[in-house]
Structure 1
């Protein structure tokens, strides 16, 4: 089943990508409507939009998922229910495709809820306590976004339809559309894990690594960014951009800082994903929607490769994820090390790799834009932090001493895992330049002073040096993490966000729901509701039956007595 799914998805990806290029060249789009039923003159319509953006994004999702499924053949080799795993992944891909091609809020909700449900099934796939806790945190955090989309569907009843693209140009100052846009921003913040909903993304690393490579590169976490790209005219119209810009920059800064104090390999890459999502959100809120989409695509390529390389290491190290127990992997796994370093350098914005074309352009546009010093500082400091944690990861895993257990024996001999990584390696190298020629066919020249032009390169080199040197400090020195323990625990735990999310945000509503259910549904509701009425009628029936059984005369006398009382009352009044 793995091979069949791989070939079908790869062929579909190729066809859809060529179609997307054709639509992009001729500025062509297709809008398909299918009316399901009509309710009070509001038609419920299944709608699909096929334009260059949806087709290219869908082709990338299919390409990455095809390689992930092929990669899973070896990674999930010991899994008895491998077909069930592949079916869940295919359901996930279908939900994402439905979300991508939907310009209708109802069909978006189908894909959106499908992503949430299937991601819960994938996060709890290993069925241990940690997975269950991570799955519950993921599900409850994403439910906030689901509810906000449901409320926005109800608000859109005021317009008589749910195709939001009809209302871009015609509703200039509508209170309803302001509320809908605000709800859509809330939904996008939960799905793309922006502050204060960030804690679920590193927790979702409890899922199998092939799932992480798919979910946290091109599908689940980018759904919120993609939805805001579709709603982009309304963001500018109602002036919500300043709020989104601040949230995106804070998320980028927080996750970059946290990754420098993390020792779990997958969580470092998850925090890196969070940082890049903050970058996409912030540049999107500045009005550069095509640029945000461009970075979304390039990020999908090198981040999927990074997760695949991490999975190859974890698989060979007998499921060990702590980077302190790695070292000198380059001697044992040269192919994995090459792919890992290429994707890390692409993440840092190394010239002429995929990430360079989008990140360098974003930072030059930021230099060109009218922003305050705080946003400028957060952008460039976060870029330096990206290089810092990438080179820290390189030091711990690739160079340095061999810290493995003596029983470890590993190499790059797995054909399926190597093929999956090489398939993405070429895209991580050449994909950025190819996409930049496609999406920006007319060359633009950004002219900046020399110190602003070189600040990006300077920040990356400085961050790389800082990350490598701070990891290289001898143990005999006064350790930074022990000397500044309050700061390290604050920054390393994502500003205590997981604690707040689990203790207050998630736990309190669950406890309130339990108490209200116990006191209302099973308490007063039962006493005065169905159960109480049932017991009352049982008592009444028993009482009347006892009257019949004991003596008919008593019943007759009682009946005559009450009839006499009623007659007297009627006669008096």
Structure 2
């Protein structure tokens, strides 16, 4: 991690890009080459991935201490990190799909780690949603055969007006949308919370969901001038809004944090589709730090609550676990964009650039309402966890002794405080010129205060009055389940196939094939076995009977002969 950090500083200062090629095999005129691209982006992202994964593995040592197969878990996490690093340093679409598919496969293994029905369903939803993206990248590989090489980095600038490249860019956007869980592929992200908490910390900060954003950052030259990018900008903005609203109705601690990740991903993708890839990259890195910390704190709280994730059961945490509460509060405030924490530097800059851009009122509203909603659900979470009364057991003992967990959390706490300013000094060698009137400049503060006040009001209201407040129960139900997306992407897609399967089972497996194979064979064998059983049981009687019969037959033969 430190090596990556110093190398990235060196690369930034000297404006270097290093392209390494390792020839694996050469046969006649064909050579098989492994390419690696090292620039400040890949080096710095690798540094963040390695820092977070090392903290997570240290945290897992304590969190998963009662696990029998701890080594297997650690190896899976390391495979996950290795796949991500392969994806980061690849300028070649073939090596990208190795890392991309590695992420998909290992994430499936990690989501189904606790083996129960819920985990299996969540794992299947995750892996099948991600398969769409994998197929898109395979199609990109096929389309890129027109250019004679798969090193996409060579073609991005001078081939962008080519029709083939526009097709490729559309597929790349779709692939990134599946991995980063944008509408309509959003339902797998909260479902993937079935994985152990250390995995969630890794997935939601710097690995799986950020792979799509990183891929688009690499392909950013293609996206800016494509004709359909404004449509995708609307989709990404709606993803932000949907995740923000759903998080306010959710009571599962991990799902709230997962939906906040979805909201931040929507922010990154939308600013990326406006052409500001450096800002998206900046927010990607700052977000990784406080989100990993937030999940670690949530894991600690869930541990202490007897593995209960319902925030209505929690309360008064700051009295019993002050250090964890401090980490949780600071990471939550960084998520809100409170000044001089990590999230502020990237989020504030993004919103001010949006205010300066020549965009319509709808997109402007989506950005600012989503920012207000972020404050809303964060304050609601803090009220439920820190301010309300403890609701789980009459006799309880919450204590903070786990120094391994705290150690790994403090590393990320430090980074959540300083990474924003550090990165803004490193990435932007020139100052961004922001020119706005006072009210526009203060818009972020206005919506944040609005969200803060609403969060306090709503978290003090009971759920029934909240539903009354939102006018109808149906409306709240629509918002609660992410605009029916989980139902559409699971039951909506597989219901008819499952009904067909049920009919086949009834008519074929339990019908004709049963009658003429299994059941029929069974009946015949049973019939013959009954006959043989009858002979065995009555053998003495039959012996005498057959003796008499034989005597009669011999007597008859003798009569005939005479």
Q: TM range, normalised to the smaller chain?
A: 0.7 to 0.9
* Cα distance change on mapping 1:320 and 1:233 into 2, 3 Å: same
Map residues 456-467 of structure 1 onto 2, 5 A cutoff: 456-467=444-455
| SS of equivalent residue, structure 1 residue 461 | helix
Matched, 1:178 2:171: no
Equivalent residue, structure 2, for 1:144: 132
**TM-score if structure 2 supplies the norm length?**
0.87
Equivalent residue, structure 2, for 1:74: 62
* Cα distance change on mapping 1:510 and 1:154 into 2, 3 Å: farther
**TM-score if structure 1 supplies the norm length?**
0.85
Matched, 1:196 2:204: no
Equivalent residue, structure 2, for 1:236: 224
TM-superposed CA distance for 1:247, in Å, is: 1.3
Q: 1:275-302 deviations in whole A, cap 9, x for unaligned?
A: 0000000000001000000000000001
TM-superposed CA distance for 1:34, in Å, is: 2.8
Which deviates more from structure 2 when the two are superposed, residues 303-312 or residues 466-475? 466-475
Matched, 1:273 2:261: yes
Equivalent residue, structure 1, for 2:101: 113
Equivalent residue, structure 2, for 1:25: 13
Matched, 1:263 2:251: yes
Separation in structure 2 between the aligned mates of residue 248 and residue 227 of structure 1, nearest angstrom: 16
Contact 1:96 1:111 (C-alpha < 8 Å) held by counterparts: yes
Task: Give the number of the structure whose alpha-carbon radius of gyration is greater.
Answer: 2
| SS of equivalent residue, structure 2 residue 22 | strand
TM-superposed CA distance for 1:150, in Å, is: 0.4
| SS of equivalent residue, structure 1 residue 462 | helix
Equivalent residue, structure 2, for 1:448: 436
* Cα distance change on mapping 1:20 and 1:371 into 2, 3 Å: same
Matched, 1:375 2:363: yes
| SS of equivalent residue, structure 1 residue 222 | helix
* Cα distance change on mapping 1:226 and 1:486 into 2, 3 Å: same
Equivalent residue, structure 2, for 1:414: 402
Contact 1:137 1:506 (C-alpha < 8 Å) held by counterparts: no
Separation in structure 2 between the aligned mates of residue 503 and residue 492 of structure 1, nearest angstrom: 17
TM-superposed CA distance for 1:17, in Å, is: 1.2
Which deviates more from structure 2 when the two are superposed, residues 36-45 or residues 67-76? 36-45
Which deviates more from structure 2 when the two are superposed, residues 32-41 or residues 358-367? 32-41
Matched, 1:224 2:212: yes
Equivalent residue for 2:475, pick from 487, 492, 496? 487
| SS of equivalent residue, structure 2 residue 67 | coil
Equivalent residue, structure 2, for 1:355: 343
| SS of equivalent residue, structure 1 residue 221 | helix
Separation in structure 2 between the aligned mates of residue 511 and residue 61 of structure 1, nearest angstrom: 44
Matched, 1:343 2:331: yes
Matched, 1:131 2:122: no
| SS of equivalent residue, structure 2 residue 490 | helix
Contact 2:458 2:466 (C-alpha < 8 Å) held by counterparts: no
Contact 1:391 1:464 (C-alpha < 8 Å) held by counterparts: yes
Separation in structure 2 between the aligned mates of residue 507 and residue 97 of structure 1, nearest angstrom: 38
Contact 1:481 1:488 (C-alpha < 8 Å) held by counterparts: no
TM-superposed CA distance for 1:139, in Å, is: 0.4
Q: Which runs of 5+ in 1 are unaligned?
A: 1-12, 520-573
Contact 1:202 1:267 (C-alpha < 8 Å) held by counterparts: yes
TM-superposed CA distance for 1:439, in Å, is: 0.6
Equivalent residue, structure 2, for 1:392: 380
TM-superposed CA distance for 1:507, in Å, is: 5.3
Q: Which runs of 5+ in 2 are unaligned?
A: 508-562
TM-superposed CA distance for 1:511, in Å, is: 7.6
| SS of equivalent residue, structure 2 residue 224 | helix
Map residues 320-331 of structure 1 onto 2, 5 A cutoff: 320-331=308-319
Contact 2:317 2:386 (C-alpha < 8 Å) held by counterparts: yes
Query: What is the root-mean-square deviation of aligned Cα atoms in Å?
Result: 2.2
Separation in structure 2 between the aligned mates of residue 244 and residue 411 of structure 1, nearest angstrom: 47
Contact 1:43 1:161 (C-alpha < 8 Å) held by counterparts: no
TM-superposed CA distance for 1:179, in Å, is: 1.1
Equivalent residue for 1:250, pick from 218, 225, 238? 238
Separation in structure 2 between the aligned mates of residue 262 and residue 518 of structure 1, nearest angstrom: 39
TM-superposed CA distance for 1:55, in Å, is: 0.4
* Cα distance change on mapping 1:506 and 1:22 into 2, 3 Å: farther
Separation in structure 2 between the aligned mates of residue 328 and residue 517 of structure 1, nearest angstrom: 53
TM-superposed CA distance for 1:336, in Å, is: 0.8
TM-superposed CA distance for 1:43, in Å, is: 5.4
Q: 1:30-50 deviations in whole A, cap 9, x for unaligned?
A: 111234467997755321101
TM-superposed CA distance for 1:307, in Å, is: 0.4
Q: 1:85-142 deviations in whole A, cap 9, x for unaligned?
A: 0000000000000000001000000000000000000000000000000000000000
* Cα distance change on mapping 1:296 and 1:476 into 2, 3 Å: closer
Separation in structure 2 between the aligned mates of residue 286 and residue 339 of structure 1, nearest angstrom: 34
* Cα distance change on mapping 1:397 and 1:180 into 2, 3 Å: same
